[in-house]
Amino acid sequence: MTFEKVEVCVYGAAVLCPSCVNLPSSKETYDWLQAAISRKFPNQPFDITYIDINEPPSDSEKAEFAERVIEEEMFYPVVVINDEIVGEGNPKLKTIYAELEKYGYKSEE
């Protein structure tokens, strides 16, 4: 299988999701995912981006999805890998790892 570099997007907000009390903040989840993916798949590059749903970037695709998170009342953070939602509210590493493996990422554990 060939390797394809992916983009992991973490959509969230500074204020915790009302249904996500006692869970890490969106920014904490972003930091945690960045470290966890780097450990699981060392020397396999990926891009990870944090997008504040209340202050979306000028990138129209990301801004539209940020608006969708709000309109559809998704539990955030919402983790998206190459346009596929892989986690919402309390994302699971196993699910995220499985999605990365579809793109040729190999665990070195």
pLDDT value of position 5 = 86
For residue 33, give its domain range: 8-102
pLDDT digits (tens, 9 = 90+) for 2-14: 677 899 999 999 8
Q: Is residue 1 one of the residues assigned to a domain?
A: no
> Looking at residue 42, which CATH number applies to its domain?
3.40.30.30
Task: For residue 51, give the 3-state DSSP assignment.
Answer: strand
**Residues of the chain whose pLDDT is less than 50?**
none
Question: How many Å separate Cα 65 from the centre of its chain?
Answer: 12
Q: What is the pTM of this model?
A: 0.91
Question: How many Å separate Cα 67 from the centre of its chain?
Answer: 16
Q: Is residue 85 one of the residues assigned to a domain?
A: yes
State both tokens at 51.
Answer: 């997008």
Instruction: Domain count for the chain, please give it.
Output: 1
Q: Is residue 107 one of the residues assigned to a domain?
A: no
pLDDT digits (tens, 9 = 90+) for 62-74: 999 999 999 998 9
